[in-house]
Homo-oligomer: A and B are copies of this chain.
């Protein structure tokens, strides 16, 4: 087994990977950009190396600097996490040329599956149904042609894409040009590849994905599905396992699992991967893409299967055989995950970076919190605003939803805006509780009227607290009148907070 591993990532996933490596007794080398010097993944690591300035292109995307850090610190393997270089075949190749083990699939598999269009071809060869779309990246004329042939709406996607970056729904030809331009530049920034391809729009589909795991000796299993239909801006915000649909139609798990393994085998895949499908209202599933790395939402699978996917990734990369066969995999209970973002859900989910002035975390039975935040930490504006993944497990989906609401009520993040309150609304929503999920869920949720009337006693208590706080402190608010102020503060405190 490796003695030392470099984690080529930041944020919650770098922290999560570090935890398992520590449990395995493996030394951890962290890398960081200037704005991440005091970030948790650096503080938790055994060793750390600076990559460069804040922009990803000058830090977390710098293959040369990362390999240099690995060499300098004597790391034997590299875990790429998700995002950044995790699906970059050149990086995987460079690692192996540098004599480092890349903890993930082979460069060839990444190439065969990392490009969405190549992945589609591969899936077709493997006999997996796919959504109608263009063969590859398109220019404006080709896009227009596809739109006319298949009709609108169409979906624009980055060839190199993932996580909704560079993705746009286009409802009429008039919008095609500007949408194509924006999507392309977004893709360029996110993946350094501007290519965009088109797909036929499927109305109100479910997003259901299969977790696969294979070793380097030809063994491969699936670990069941995750439903990730609750999305905003084409990005998942709530994930769960099992899927409420598949819980009702268990035969779908075997069918989709077999299709996922077939598509992965066709690309000679090993290590952990995820095969994403769209499921239409008629329960037909279509191959969407393969994520050739650990998924953000992998914890829900860990909670229902009882496996540690990062540990298995590392063991597989070290040459181990899968410690189980398909029939050994069992699923227990129900798991839900919320992606807690620094954003304002009531203002188009716009990012809201800043300093965390206060933090109350949910604890107790059935709660797992994968986070990278601490009180006093400033959320940098240069990266994805994911603060934490709040994951719960319970024996049934209903109990898991109740537990998630309880956890959300215990969770407070001060100083910035988050989507915690929005999640509470979603979990209270009748449609969500009934398991009627699809990728347009959030848009339709906002379309429905929500008058949350606030109990009058809460307003009274809030007013009282504000009055006490302001009387105890306001005088300090005025910066100049320092000396006099402080006396006032003490007076105020003594008067109102004896």
Please list the residues of chain A having a beta carbon within 8 angstroms of any beta carbon in chain B. 15-16, 19-20, 22-25, 44, 299, 302, 306-308, 311, 332-333, 361, 363-371, 394-395, 399, 402-403, 405-406, 409-410
Contacts and interface: CB of A to CB of B under 8 A. Distances in A.
A332 B22 CA distance: 23
Given A23-B402, A308-B395, A395-B307, A15 B364 contact: yes
B402 A365 contact: no
A368 B369 contact: no
Count of identical protomers in the assembly:
2
27 contacts: A15-B364, A16-B365, A19-B364, A19-B365, A19-B406, A23-B399, A23-B403, A23-B406, A44-B410, A299-B365, A302-B365, A306-B332, A306-B395, A307-B395, A308-B365, A308-B394, A311-B399, A361-B361, A361-B363, A363-B368, A363-B369, A363-B370, A363-B371, A364-B368, A365-B370, A366-B368, A367-B368
Contacts of A308: 365-366, 394-395, 399
Nearest to A375: B375
B332 A364 contact: no
Nearest to A405: B23
Contacts of A25: 402
B409 A365 contact: no
B361 A370 contact: no
A487 B408 CA distance: 44
A310 to B, nearest CB: 8
A15, A19, A370 pick with most chain B CB within 10 angstroms: A19
Contacts of A403: 23
Contacts of A306: 332-333, 395
Contacts of A367: 368
A181 B398 CA distance: 54
Contacts of A394: 308
A83 B44 CA distance: 38
Nearest to A360: B374
B368 A22 contact: no
Nearest to A332: B306
A214 B136 CA distance: 63
Nearest to A309: B365
A364 B24 contact: no
A303 to B, nearest CB: 9
Nearest to A311: B399
Nearest to A24: B402
A406 B364 contact: no
A454 B399 CA distance: 47
Contacts of A371: 363
A368 B365 contact: yes
A331 to B, nearest CB: 11
A402 B405 CA distance: 31
Contact of A20 (B19, B363, B365, B410): B365
A51 to B, nearest CB: 23
Contacts of A307: 395
A339 B369 CA distance: 21
A363 B387 CA distance: 14
Contacts of A19: 364-365, 406
A48 B361 CA distance: 22
A130 B186 CA distance: 74
A409 B22 contact: yes
